[in-house]
Structure formats: C-alpha cells, structure tokens
Structure 1
C-alpha cells in the first residue's frame, strides 16, 4: 500500500491486489483442469467464487463511478490495466479448460448410461408370442465426492 493519503491510489492498489490474487487462483485451477485433475480445482472453488464476486462488485462500481480511480497515479492505473489484461487472458484459458472438462465428463456419463442400457434385456413384441422383459431400472447418481 502506498504511503500517500490519496484514496484513489489506495483503491487502485486494492484492485490490483485483488485482480492478481484472482488471476493466480484461476491459473492454479487451469493447471488442475489441464492435468486432468478437476478434483484439485474443486478444492478452491468456494474461495475463487468469493473473490470473483468481490471483483465483480468492485469493477462494476468503478465502471459506474470512474472518478473513484481517475485521480490515481498514472503508474498505478497502468499497472491495473496490465493486471486486468493478465486476468482476462487467464479467464479465457480457464473457460476453455472448464469446457473441456465438462465435455469429457458428459461423454463419460453418456458412455456409462449407454453401456447400462445395452446390457438390459427388453421385451420383443406384443401378443401371445412375446417374451417377458427382464429389464430392471438402474439409476446413476453422482455427487461432489465422486
């Protein structure tokens, strides 16, 4: 934190710290997803969600009231721009990693469901010559611990 009493400098410094922390946390989650270990990313989801909500509120407030940061030093404002650019790059990477993980997970669930359905015996028609169905209902439940 700077030694001066300029509230705009203090606010920009706080935004830089928040943005850098959020960027770092998302980068760690990206590494987990890319290493095919989404369970490692899940451990930090709650904290990242809280930081993201604070970031969203703070950035919305600055967007609505630019005067809150306009009197900050140009060097600090430039540092905030660089931090924001890094955040946006990691956010795009995170989006791709989450989408890839989601696609793989959905594919696995569909494959399991297909295999379960294929192993069931089903009835073969109606009428006197029909064979009885021996199919049993099967459900798959996934939870966060899986």
Structure 2
C-alpha cells in the first residue's frame, strides 16, 4: 500500500498525518508498558504494524526519489521534520519501556525457576540403614493415557 498524493504538498501533508498517528499509537503503547499493562499495548498492534509498514515504505520512496516532496513550502517541510523528530523520540521511549518490561519479565522467570529448583532439592531422603541419600536430579514425568 502506498500514499496516493496529488502533488508534493499533498504527499507531505499525508506523511505528517501518518507520522503523527503512528507517534500517538506508539506513545500509548509505551505508556501501557510504563504502567505495567502490556495487555493494553497489544490492543493496537494491528494498526501499528500496518501504519509502520506504510511509513517505512513511504520513507524509502522519498529517500530514493526526493523529487516526490520537492517544491513544498519551508513551513510544510519544517512540520514534517518536527513530526519525524517527535516520532523518533517516541520510538526511543518505547524502546526503553519494552526493554524494562523484558528485564522485569526475565527476572520474574528466573526467580520462579530458582524457587522451583530450591523446593525440589530441599527434601532429604534416607535409606533403610538410616543414611541420608543424595538427592536425584530433577526429571520430567510423562504420562501416557494408553498404558
């Protein structure tokens, strides 16, 4: 999918609208991660993916052919630059929020795994002679309903 623009000014206006919409969606997603509500961040993923793909495609087109936005007013060009700078800042914010969420999640998983391992090795067993036996290695149990 590509932007269908009548002229350079129309293309720049549409790029600004696209960039601002994508910035708003990613800011909301970053806020959800910052508030420890990743389930809320997942709500807009389809639209974010679609718009991010369009943004990537259009940015590549403009980079490959700068004449697509040639001749626009300096004010329109400045507005596009501001929208792009805001988008970059929100992407950096989202990156920090996602990294923090990943770190917390990995920490929780490690704590749970360590606790499970500690619980498994706490039990002591004794042989018939009263000597303490070494704990066995943790093993998985598979149940077969056909047996």
Q: Same fold (TM over 0.5)?
A: yes
State TM-score, norm by structure 1.
Answer: 0.80
| Number of the residue aligned with 1:25 | 25
How far apart in 2 are the matches of 1:91 and 1:79?
18
Per-residue displacement from partner, 1:93-135 (whole Å, max 9, x unpaired)? 11101100110011111111111111114899xxxx8556384
**5+ unaligned residues in a row in structure 2: which ranges?**
126-130, 142-147
1:44 aligns with 2:44: yes
State TM-score, norm by structure 2.
Answer: 0.79
Task: Summarize the alignment of residues 65-144 of structure 1 with structure 2, pairs less than 5 Å apart.
Answer: 65-121=65-121, 130-131=133-134, 133=136, 135-137=138-140
- Number of residue equivalences: 130
- The CA RMSD over aligned residues, in Å, is 2.4
How far apart in 1 are the matches of 2:89 and 2:135?
59
**5+ unaligned residues in a row in structure 1: which ranges?**
139-146
4+ aligned runs moved over 2 Å, structure 1: 121-124, 129-138
How far apart in 2 are the matches of 1:19 and 1:47?
13
Q: Larger Rg: 1 or 2?
A: 2
Tell me whether 16-25 or 63-72 shows the greater mean CA deviation: 63-72
How far apart in 1 are the matches of 2:52 and 2:90?
13
Structure 1 residues 131 and 96, CA, compared in 2 at 3 Å: closer, same or farther?
closer
